[in-house]
Chain A
C-alpha cells in the first residue's frame, strides 16, 4: 500500500503493511546523521526520526521500496552519481558546480535511524551528513560530499563514493568499488574478490582476509596500501614518481622510482593493476611469516605489457 509521510519533528514509524516486505531503502540527506541497521525477524522497517530542521523530511513507501529524503536535494545529489567526471578532465568545474547545487541548503539538518530487513538493498547519499550502514546482506551504495561514512558487515556489492568525507568500512564481503577525491578510505577485515579503486589525493587502505583477489587502482597522489594473507602476487603498475612495492620488491632499477612494470611472486593469485602519478602503491603480507622480503621471486623485466 503506497504511503507518504511529511515529518517535521521527532517521530517513530513502522513501515510496511500486512504481507508487504521492504526490499530497497534510499536515503538522501543534506546535513545531520543517518543510521541504517538491520533486523531479521520482520519484513517491515522502522524509522526513528529524532531531529528535523529546515525543510520537512519526505518519506515515501510504495510497497517494497522506502525512500527518505530531505528535499529538495534529490536533483543535486544525483550529481554524485557522476563522480567519475572527476577522474577525467574538468574536475574543478565539477566541484564548483557541486558547490552551487548545495549552496544555501546547509540549514537542512535531520537525524534519523532506520532498521530494515537484512536483505534490503541500501543506497545512502549525503552532502555533509554522517552515515552508518551496518548488517546488510544485499548491495550497498554510499555517497557523500563531505560527510564521514561508516559501513560495517555487508554481504553483497559495496560501492563507496566520497569527495572529501572520510570513509571507514569493516567486514565487507563482496565486490567493492571505491571512488575518492580527497577523502581517506579505510577498509578492514574484508573479503573482496575484486576491488576497483579510484582516488585523486585520498589515501586508500585495504586490509583483506582473502589472499586471492583482483584489485584495480588509479591514483594521482593518494597512497594505496593493501595488506593480505597472499601466497603469491602479481602486480602490474605504472608510476611517475610514486614508489611501487610488493613483497620486499620495488619496481624500478633503484636509481629512480619512475617505472612501469611487473612484480610477481609465487602463484600470482593476488593481482594488483595500478596507475599512479605520485601516490605510493604498497602490498603488505599479513599473517605468519609476513614481510620476509625474500620470497620466491620471479621477476619480469620493467616496461612490461600494459
Chain B
C-alpha cells in the first residue's frame, strides 16, 4: 500500500495541543482550526477516534463533566511530546504539503519508468517483427529476403507511419504544411510505383 500522509502527525498535534492545557473535544477541533487560520477544518469523525486511541494508549485521560468530556494529557503523553519535539517542528509545513509531495513523487516515478518501458518495448517489438518467421506454412521467412531488405523496408514504413500520425495529431499545422506533407507522401507513393514497375 502507498504510504499514508499526515494522520500520524495529527495524533502528535493533538497531544501537543493538550500539552498546553485540558480541553473539551469540540475545543480541540476549534483550536486546530484556529491554529491553521481556518484553512484546516477537522471533522469529529477524525478527531474523536484519535482522542479515544490516545486514551487507550494512556497518553491522554478523559473525565466526563456532565455531557461534555474533558481531555487531559498524562505524564506519558508529555514524555512523548518532549521526545518528538523535532517532529513537531516540521509538522505544520508537512500538513500543508504531504499529500501533494507524495503524489508528485509517485507521478514522477511512474512517468520516468513508463518512458523507459515504452522505448524498450518499442525497440524489442520492432526487432521481434523484423526477425519473426511466418507461421503460415510458407517457406520464406522475412529474414530470408536479401540482406534483411524487407526488414529495412518495414522499419522505413513504420517510421513514416509514426511521423505521419504525429503530424496528424499535432494541432495548429497550417494548411500549407498539411499540403506539403500530402505532397511528400504522394510523391513517395509515385516513386515507389516507378521502382516496382522498373523491376518488372
Contact = CB atoms under 8 A, between A and B. Distances in A.
Contact of B140 (A207, A255, A278, A301): A255
Contact of A291 (B44, B96, B124, B140): B124
Interface stretch (B76-84, B130-138, B172-180): B130-138
Given A40-B1, A282-B129, A150 B121 contact: no
B134 A37 contact: no
A190 B186 CA distance: 43
B2 A227 contact: no
B161 A278 contact: yes
B129 A137 contact: no
Given A16-B45, A301-B137, A248 B132 contact: yes
A188 B114 contact: yes
Interface string A215-232: 000000101010100000
A297 B43 contact: no
Interface in B140-159: 140-142, 154, 158
B136 A302 contact: yes
B132 A245 contact: yes
Interface in A1-50: 10-20, 35, 37-44, 46, 48, 50
A205 B135 contact: no
A254 interface: yes
Contact of A41 (B4, B44, B127): B4
A293 B131 contact: yes
Interface residues of A, number: 73
B23 to A, nearest CB: 17
Given A186-B117, A227-B121, A250-B142, A164 B44 contact: no
A284 B128 contact: yes
Given A137-B1, A170-B114, A282 B135 contact: no
Interface stretch (B62-70, B104-112, B187-195): B104-112
Contacts of A221: 161, 165
B128 A14 contact: no
A259 interface: yes
A223 B129 CA distance: 12
A254 B140 contact: yes
Contacts of B86: none
Interface residues of B, number: 57
Given A37-B103, A282-B128, A302-B136, A205 B5 contact: no
Contact of B169 (A17, A201, A301): A201
A291 B103 contact: no
B133 A299 contact: no
A115 B36 CA distance: 19
20 contacts: A11-B39, A14-B40, A18-B49, A37-B5, A40-B4, A42-B50, A46-B46, A135-B1, A170-B110, A186-B117, A201-B169, A223-B125, A245-B132, A249-B133, A251-B135, A254-B141, A255-B138, A284-B121, A291-B124, A302-B136
Given A13-B43, A37-B103, 20 more contacts: A14-B41, A14-B43, A14-B46, A16-B46, A17-B44, A18-B45, A38-B4, A46-B5, A114-B99, A132-B103, A135-B1, A150-B111, A170-B110, A186-B114, A205-B117, A249-B132, A249-B133, A250-B134, A254-B140, A284-B121
Interface of B: 1-2, 4-8, 36, 39-46, 48-50, 95-96, 99-100, 102-103, 106-107, 110-111, 113-114, 117-118, 121-122, 124-125, 127-129, 131-138, 140-142, 154, 158, 161, 165, 168-169
